[in-house]
Amino acid sequence: MKKLSWILFSLLAIVAIALTACGPKAEEPAQPAATEAPAQPAATEAPAQPAAGGKQVEVFSWWTGGGEAAGLEAMIKVFKAKYPDIEFINAAVAGGAGTNARAVLASRLQAGDPPDSWQGHAGQELIGTYVAGNQIQPLNDLYESEGWLEVMPETLIPLISDNGNIYSVPVNIHRANVLWYNPKILADNNIAVPTTIDEWLAAMETLKGAGVQPLALGEQWTKMHLLETVLLGTLGPDAYNGLWTGTTDWGSPEVKVALDNYAKILTYANSDSASLSWQDAAQLVVNGDAAFNVMGDWAEGYFRELGKTPETDYGWAPVPGSVGVFQFLSDSFVLAVGAPDPEAAVAWLKIAGSKEGQEAFNPVKGSICARTDCDKALFGVYLQSAMDDWASNIVVGSLTHGVVANDSWKSEIDTALGLFIQNGDVDAFQSALVAACKASGPCK
Ligand code: GAL
């Protein structure tokens, strides 16, 4: 810390982190939900100051509550048993999909104060942000020593690699395009699980007529999550992929149909969505207060934490229109450039990539292992079906969770979506999406 500017930068960053840790900023409309833990390191964790000479690893994520913290704790337990002399600092910051956490992380990185390791999504988020910014270190040696190339899916390696270097350790595979439903509500209203968007719209119309809340929806990122699944469900996997590679025109009539579908689907959602977290929205389904919710399969981890029973309290299906397609994302952990304790960080990464770590984490988190050698018997009925689908379906990537678009493109899409939610103007939305692809995507 030789330079004054660096000290000032650090102070600013500390203030920024402290402000975020104290709660949402005034300009953020979506309040952290009651179900989520406060935006502070978990109370059970050790203080952030190392004992003199002691080794410690600070791991940053957004897994603080609702099924997510429990998954992380299960992996931390494996870590502590294997490395009892390394203090584990859980620097998780609350907020689904990392909405708050990623802002805190960005200020820390900018201030030269990285955690040793953090959660990043395989795909454009990792490569376009952290690799492009020289913020993370290649892990090829670790892949070699741990034999990970033999056990990690071949399809995943390119999404975490750049120029022959591998940059992260995937802990899981999540599915984004899941339609969760309340089986009793559907049975009571004689509704079959919809497989096409038209069937879904008809089902929701029937439910509305019967006085049932058709769709549960939460804060803005969950609306982007819904949007990506409706784009997939309307366009199909090839044209959906083309949105991200430049071969599908965002201004085309097909995309207009998808956006019209999206607009119609939104009319069946709860009016208080802006103030609900993903957990709040998903809970409406298992509590019998809404029929459908579209959410990634971390919702399953939450349902289990609530003590709900699969197939009785909740059912699942691919989002209508996307049968046979697995829209995926993968959480992975990185090694920071300038990690305060790189050795301890590597110890953490070894657990994150291990069979034991992944088998402890995933059945609780509601995801399947990134590794291909986990014991299927450890997983419940939903996750076993996800494993089958992952192995047999067409696989496409998620927008909201970092696979297909870089951060700037995603943020422009998010801005366009925010406006659309306010004004409902589909044509203006489509024009803004065309412009976003030109500004930051492959449509230049
Ligand atoms: C995703 C993340 C999942 C889950 C979800 C909700 O971005 O990959 O692991 O945490 O957000 O918070």
CATH of the domain at 376: 3.40.190.10
pLDDT of residue 30: 31
Q: 36 with 120, same domain?
A: yes
**How far is CA 271 from its chain centroid?**
24
Q: Which atom of ligand 1 is nearest to the CA of 278?
A: 6
Contacts 24+ apart (CB under 8 A), 408-416: 408/439, 408/440, 409/436, 409/437, 409/439, 409/440, 409/441, 412/436, 412/439, 412/440, 413/224, 414/220, 414/221, 414/224
Q: 199 with 147, same domain?
A: no
Within 6 A (CB) of ligand 1 lie: 62-63, 68, 96-98, 121, 174, 278, 296, 298, 329, 331, 401
- For residue 388, tell me if it sits in a domain: no
In the three-class reduction of DSSP (H, G, I as helix; E, B as strand; rest coil), residue 409 is classed as: helix
CA distances from 195 to 179, 198, 236, 255, 274 (A): 10, 9, 13, 20, 27
pLDDT of residue 441: 96
Q: If you search the block for the tokens 């692809």, which residue do you land on?
A: 437
- The torsion angle over the Cα atoms of residues 16, 22, 24 and 27, rounded to 10 degrees, is -60
Q: 349 with 377, same domain?
A: yes
- For residue 370, tell me if it sits in a domain: yes
- For residue 301, tell me if it sits in a domain: yes
Give the CB-side neighbour count of residue 407, counting CA atoms within 13 A: 17
Q: Which atom of ligand 1 is nearest to the CA of 61?
A: 10
Q: 275 with 338, same domain?
A: no
pLDDT of residue 427: 98
- For residue 106, tell me if it sits in a domain: yes
DSSP 410: H
Strands ordered across the beta sheet of 178-181: 215-216, 292-294, 178-181, 315-318
Q: 305 with 345, same domain?
A: no
- For residue 394, tell me if it sits in a domain: no
- For residue 433, tell me if it sits in a domain: yes
- For residue 393, tell me if it sits in a domain: no
Question: Which residues of the chain fall short of a pLDDT of 70?
Answer: 1-53
Number of domains in the chain: 2
For ligand 1, the distance from its centroid to the CA atom of residue 417, given in whole angstroms, is: 20
pLDDT of residue 5: 38
Q: 110 with 237, same domain?
A: no
Q: Is the dihedral of CA 61, 66, 68, 73 positive or negative?
A: positive
Q: Which atom of ligand 1 is nearest to the CA of 95?
A: 12
For ligand 1, the distance from its centroid to the CA atom of residue 97, given in whole angstroms, is: 4
pLDDT of residue 67: 86
Nearest-angstrom CA–CA distance, 42 and 61 = 11
Sorted by sequence, the CB contacts under 8 Å of residue 375 that are 6+ apart come out as 359
Q: 73 with 52, same domain?
A: yes
- For residue 397, tell me if it sits in a domain: no
Do residues 34 and 269 touch, judged by C-beta distance below 8 A? no
For ligand 1, the distance from its centroid to the CA atom of residue 94, given in whole angstroms, is: 11
Give the closest residue (by CA) to ligand 1 atom 12.
96
Inter-helix orientation angle 278-286/220-245, to 10°: 100
> Mutation test of ligand 1: which of 35, 93, 173, 174 has the most ligand atoms closer than 8 Å to its C-beta?
174
Q: 242 with 345, same domain?
A: no
Q: Tell me phi and psi for residue 394, to 5 degrees.
A: -75, 130
Residue closest to 207 by CA, chosen among 267, 164, 130: 267
Do residues 72 and 90 touch, judged by C-beta distance below 8 A? yes
Nearest-angstrom CA–CA distance, 120 and 95 = 15
**DSSP H or E stretch at residue 75:** helix 68-82
Structural domain of residue 422, as residue ranges?
Answer: 178-328+403-440
Encode burial over 265-281: b for 16+ CB neighbours within 10 A, e otherwise: bbebbbeebeebbbbbb
Q: Is 322 exposed, middle or buried (0-12, 13-18, 19+ CB in 10 A)?
A: buried
Nearest-angstrom CA–CA distance, 396 and 148 = 23
Nearest-angstrom CA–CA distance, 221 and 369 = 25
Sorted by sequence, the CB contacts under 8 Å of residue 110 that are 6+ apart come out as 9, 13
| 140-167 per-position pLDDT tens digit | 999 999 999 999 999 999 999 999 999 9
In the three-class reduction of DSSP (H, G, I as helix; E, B as strand; rest coil), residue 222 is classed as: helix
For the chain, helix (H) and strand (E) counts, in that order, are 16, 15
SS3 content of the chain, % helix, strand, coil (to 5): 50, 15, 40
Q: 11 with 154, same domain?
A: yes
Q: 187 with 319, same domain?
A: yes
pLDDT of residue 195: 98
pLDDT of residue 66: 86
Q: 215 with 240, same domain?
A: yes
Q: 183 with 169, same domain?
A: no
Q: Tell me phi and psi for residue 396, to 5 degrees.
A: -130, 165
For ligand 1, the distance from its centroid to the CA atom of residue 389, given in whole angstroms, is: 20
For ligand 1, the distance from its centroid to the CA atom of residue 301, given in whole angstroms, is: 11
